[in-house]
Amino acid sequence: MKGILPLGTLFLILGLGALAQEPKTGDFPFSSPVLSDRTYFDGAETLGRVGNEPILKRDILHQMKKFAYMEFIRQRNEAPEPQKAQYSDERFPEFCAQFLASDQFYSQVLDDSIKKLLYYSDYVTTRSKEEVEEQKKNLGKVYDRDYLPSLLKPFGCEKLDEVKKVFSEKLGSSVEQDKRLFIQQTLGDSWLDYSLGNHAYRPTVVELRRWYSAHEILYTEPDQVRWHRMSVLFANHADRDEAMRKIAYMGNAVMVAQSEEQRLRLFERVAAADSEDFLAGKGGDCGWTGREDLNSREIAEALFSEELPIGTLSRVIDDGFGYTIVLVTDRKIRHVKPFYEVQEDVLERMKKERKESQKQKYETDLAERFAVEIYAVSAEERHRMIETARRESESASGRRSAY
């Protein structure tokens, strides 16, 4: 078969979301022993190498700045109108400088780049030069047709020319550099999936059921009730007798209902008019609630008691803060979802579990096959790199970052 996979299958596996290739906060760093004691060489354009592939400082900074700009635009879009002025284009250098000065984020992006270069190195040394060039050519077309336009929204742009200006004026890089990284990382990620055989993994029904039985807790639904409440608080009354007279009046007003449906409507009207708790405005509707979500033992016992049928009023409950009457409208007893309902979820979890296990072994094997070098220098050179990155984050007017 020519190439890795047919192009359609390749991108069915990968997806083309706008953030698919971006680093995500919280990802675990690559844990290969080869990299465990590294320090970073930041005084040169080349930070190190993976096999024959160089790790370029400008590629690491490009990815950090790109992520920072997307986060800047996201926060601007979500900010209340009075605060949007804080996210003017002139403020981006200050915002970006915080990302560039983060050792943790820098290490995370570098680690992620090393992993992708390992996958990519395995691909280019396994396939013929002609196949590699063909896939790169196809991916270049995908970048122009699909990926670059997908950056319009996360970059806050309306036209592709504006996206290109973001790269050159805000990030100090170019579309060509971003395309090269996209092709390299996409080939690496697709080769990872292909090498792990996830596209061909099909566990049997027996294996699915065995995993389901071993992880039953994941599919266990707890006890739940849907209910309404009306309350009278002791703090709002001269004594308990006065509070009892009010809650009794409220309960009697509902008891006149002739049907379950009418009883619920009356309960909501009385609760909205006279209840003294924070749910009065919702007619006392508490929605679905689990036993463990309740702070009152007395109310929990009433709600989950078989002695309180659905659709009937409870007795007056004293929870120490006031008197309460509850009305249960539905009840679910703790149960395990049947296998046929969760079979697809079981399959996806098994695939993910298998992938993570195989991925760790695959990465360890790659780190042994391909020399991974990170050049080491002093902390002073690291500091100079941060200062340089800050200067590179200046706005078009030359305004220096305040950070």
**Whether residue 48 is found in the same domain as residue 167:** yes
pLDDT value of residue 166 = 94
Residue 274 located in a structural domain: yes
Which three-class secondary structure string do you get for 355-382? HHHHHHHHHHHHHHHCCEEECCCCHHHH
| Chain position carrying tokens 């190439």 | 3
pTM of the model: 0.59
* Cα–Cα nearest to 35, from 47, 27, 45: 47
Q: Confirm if 135 and 3 have CB atoms less than 8 A apart.
A: yes
- 176 lies in the same domain as 303: no
Is there a single domain that holds both residue 262 and residue 144? no
User: What per-residue confidence (pLDDT) applies to 17?
Assistant: 32
CB 184 within 8 A of CB 102: no
Q: What are the Cα distances from residue 125, in Å, to 195, 197, 221, 358?
A: 13, 19, 50, 20
Exposed e or buried b per residue across 118-144, where buried means at least 16 C-beta atoms within 10 angstroms of its C-beta: bbbbbbbeebeeebbeebbeebeebbe
pLDDT number for residue 46: 82
Q: Which of 260, 329, 316, 233 is nearest to 289 (CA)?
A: 329
CA distance 31 to 353: 18
In a shared domain, residues 107 and 83: yes
Q: What is the Cα–Cα distance from 190 to 195, expressed in whole angstroms?
A: 9
Q: What is the mean pLDDT of residues 292-304?
A: 90
- Cα 78 from Cα 82, distance rounded (Å): 11
* Count of domains observed in the chain: 2
pLDDT tens digit sequence for 36-82: 334 444 444 788 889 888 898 889 999 999 999 999 999 999 989 88
In a domain, 86, yes or no: yes
Domain range for 117 is 7-205+345-392
DSSP assignment of 191-235 equals HHHHHHTGGG----HHHHHHHHHHTGGGGEEPPEEEEEEEEEEGG
- Quick check: is 210 in a domain? no
Q: What is the mean pLDDT of residues 299-311?
A: 90
What average pLDDT does this structure show over 182-199? Answer: 88
Out of 292, 308, 333, a domain closes at 333
Same domain, 197 and 255: no
Contact criterion met (CB below 8 Å) for 111 and 55 = no
Nearest to 307 by CA among 317, 294, 321, 318: 317
Helix 129-142 and helix 175-196, axial crossing angle in degrees, nearest 10 = 120
Which range, of 19-28, 138-147, 364-373, averages the lowest pLDDT?
19-28
Residue 288 lies in a domain: yes
- Between 324 and 11, the more confident residue is 324
pLDDT of the residue at 253: 92
Question: Percent of the chain, pLDDT > 70?
Answer: 82
What is the spatial distance between Cα 203 and Cα 40, in angstroms, rounded to a whole number? 43
CA 202 – CA 193 distance, rounded (Å): 14
Same domain, 147 and 29: yes
The answer to whether residues 318 and 298 touch, using CB atoms and an 8 Å cutoff, is: yes
15 and 148 housed in the same domain:
yes
20 and 148 share one domain: yes
Query: Do 32 and 92 belong together in one domain?
Result: yes
Shared domain for 248 and 328, answered yes or no, is: yes
Q: How confident is the model at residue 162 (pLDDT cuts 50, 70, 90)?
A: very high
Distance CA(379)–CA(236), nearest Å, equals 65
**What's the pLDDT tens digit per position in 348-392?**
999 888 888 888 889 888 988 888 887 754 456 556 655 665 565
Characterize 259-274 residue by residue with b for buried, 16 or more Cβ atoms within 10 angstroms of its Cβ, and e for exposed. eeeebbebbbebbbeb
Tell whether 150 and 102 lie within a shared domain.
yes
Max intra-chain CA distance, the chain: 90
CATH of the domain at 317: 3.10.50.40
| Helices assigned H by DSSP within 79-204 | 92-100, 103-126, 129-142, 148-150, 160-165, 175-196
How many Å apart are CA 129 and CA 140, to the nearest integer? 16
Q: Does 302 map to a domain? A: yes
For residue 234, which amino acid is it? F
> Is there a domain that residue 399 lies in?
no
Q: Sheet of 46-50: strands edge to edge? A: 53-56, 46-50, 372-374
CA pair distance 337, 219, nearest whole angstrom: 6
Task: Give the residue from 283, 301, 333 where a domain finishes.
Answer: 333
Side chain identity, residue 350: M
| Same domain assignment for residues 232 and 183 | no
